[in-house]
Structure 1
Amino acid sequence: MNMRPFLSLLLGAFLLPASIDTAHAAPTNSFLEQRNNLALRSDAFVVANPRTGEILAERNANRIMPIASITKLMTALVVLDGNQRLSESITVTMDDVDRIKGTGSRLAIGSRLSRADMLHIALMSSENRAASALARNYPGGRRAFVEAMNAKARMLGMWSTHFADSTGLNPRNVATAHDLAKLAATASTYPLIRQYTSTEHRLVRNGKRQMQYHNSNRIVREGSWPILVSKTGYIREAGRCLVMGTKVSNEPVIMVLLHANTTDERVADAKKIKTWLETSGRATLTAQSTPAPKLFSAQ
Structure 2
Amino acid sequence: MRLRGFVPLLLMALWALSGTVAGHQATAAAPTAAAGPNLASVNAAVAKAGEPELLFGKNAERSVPIASLTKVMTALVVLESGQPLDEWLTFRERHTPAAANAYSRIRIDSTLRRADVLRLALMSSENFAAYTLARSHPGGFDAFIDAMNDKARELGMTGARFVDPTGLSVDNVASAADLVKLVNAAARHPELQAYSTTGYFRAHFRNPRYSLSYGNTNALVHRDSWGVTLSKTGYLKDAGRCLVMISEMNGEQVVTVLLDSLGTRSPMGDAGRIKRWLDTGAPGQVARAARRYEQSKNAAYAAADKQSVSTH
Shorter-chain-normalised TM-score: which range? 0.7 to 0.9
Q: Which residue of 1 aligns with 2:31?
A: 29
Q: Tell me the amino acid that sits aligned with residue 227 of structure 1.
A: V
Residue by residue over 1:5-31, the C-alpha shift from the partner in whole angstroms, topping out at 9 and shown as x without a partner, is: xxxxxxxxxxxxxxxxxxxxxxx8242
Distance 1:212-1:96 versus aligned 2 partners, 3 A rule: farther
Q: What is residue 225 of structure 1 aligned with on the other side?
A: 226
Question: What residue is the counterpart of 2:164 in the other structure?
Answer: 165
Does 1:65 find its partner at 2:82? no
Letter in 1 for 2:98: R
1:146 touches 1:166 (CA, 8 Å); kept in 2? yes
Give the Cα–Cα distance (whole angstroms) in 2 for the partners of residues 191 and 96 of structure 1: 32
CA distance in 1, matches of 2:35, 2:247: 21
Q: What amino acid is aligned across from residue 262 of structure 1 in structure 2?
A: G
Paired with 2:105 and 2:267, the residues of 1 have a C-alpha distance of 25
Per the TM alignment, residue 221 of structure 1 is displaced from its structure 2 partner at its CA by 2.5
Residue identity over aligned pairs, in percent, reads 43
Structure 1 range deviating more: 219-228 or 123-132: 219-228
Task: Return the alpha-carbon distance in structure 1 between the equivalents of residues 136 and 69 of structure 2.
Answer: 21
Over 3 Å counting, the alpha-carbon distance change for 1:236 and 1:98 in structure 2 is: farther
For the 8 Å contact 2:73–2:182, the answer to whether it is kept is yes
Structure 1, unmatched stretches of 5+, are: 1-27, 282-299
**Secondary structure, counterpart of 2:256 in structure 1:** strand
Task: Give the superposition deviation at 1:276.
Answer: 1.4
Aligned residue in 2 for 1:261 = 262
Is this contact kept in 2: 1:98–1:129, CA < 8 A? no
Determine the C-alpha separation between the residues in 2 that align with 1:220 and 1:234: 18
Tell me if the contact between 1:96 and 1:132 (Cα under 8 Å) persists in the aligned partners.
Answer: no
Q: 1:230 to 1:265 in 2, by over 3 A?
A: same
TM normalised by structure 1 equals: 0.80
Q: How far did residue 278 of structure 1 move?
A: 1.4
- 8 Å contact 1:66–1:173 — kept in the other structure? yes
Q: Taking structure 1 as reference, are residues 129 and 139 closer, same or farther at Cα in structure 2, changes over 3 Å only?
A: same
Change (3 A) 1:203 1:242: same
Kindly provide the CA deviation profile for residues 90-119 of structure 1, in whole angstroms up to 9, marking residues without a partner as x.
111111786321231111212210111100
The SS at the match of 1:95 is: coil
Shift of the 40–191 alpha-carbon distance from structure 1 to 2, 3 Å rule, reads same
Q: Is the 8 A contact 1:242 1:257 kept in 2?
A: yes
How many pairs align? 251
For the 8 Å contact 1:69–1:169, the answer to whether it is kept is: yes
Instruction: Give the match for residue 88 of structure 2.
Output: 89
The aligned residue for residue 109 of structure 1 is 108
**TM-score, normalised relative to structure 2:** 0.77
Aligned to 1:178: 177
- The whole-number CA distance in structure 1 between the counterparts of 2:51 and 2:154 is 20
Is the partner of 1:29 in helix, strand or coil? Answer: coil
Amino acid at match of 1:94: E
Secondary structure of the 1:94 match is coil
Matched to 2:279, the amino acid is: E
In the alignment, what sits opposite 1:50?
49
Q: Deviations over 1:59-113 (max 9, x none)?
A: 1111110001101111011101111111111111111786321231111212210
Q: For the residues of structure 1 that align with 2:135 and 2:152, how far apart are their CA atoms?
A: 20
Shift of 1:55: 1.6
Offset from partner CA, 1:240-289 (integer Å, 9 cap, x none): 000011121221210000000111111111111111111239xxxxxxxx
Deviates more, 1:88-97 or 1:114-123: 88-97
Q: Does 1:210 align with 2:216?
A: no
2:49–2:246 contact (8 Å) kept in structure 1 = no
1:286 match: none
- Structure 2, gaps ≥5 residues long: 1-29, 283-312
SS in 2 for 1:161: coil
- String of CA shifts for 1:201-257, please: whole Å, max 9, x gaps: 111101332211110111112343100111001111111000011121221210000
| Distance in 2 separating the partners of 1:45 and 1:99 | 28
Q: Quote the Cα distance in structure 2 between the aligned partners of 1:270 and 1:73.
A: 19
- Measure the CA separation in 1 of the matches of 2:214 and 2:255: 25
* Structure 1 position 51, deviation (Å): 4.7
The answer for the alignment partner of 1:274 in structure 2 is 275
Name the Cα RMSD after superposition: 1.7
Aligned equivalent of 1:155: 154
In 1, distance between residues paired with 2:242 and 2:200? 21
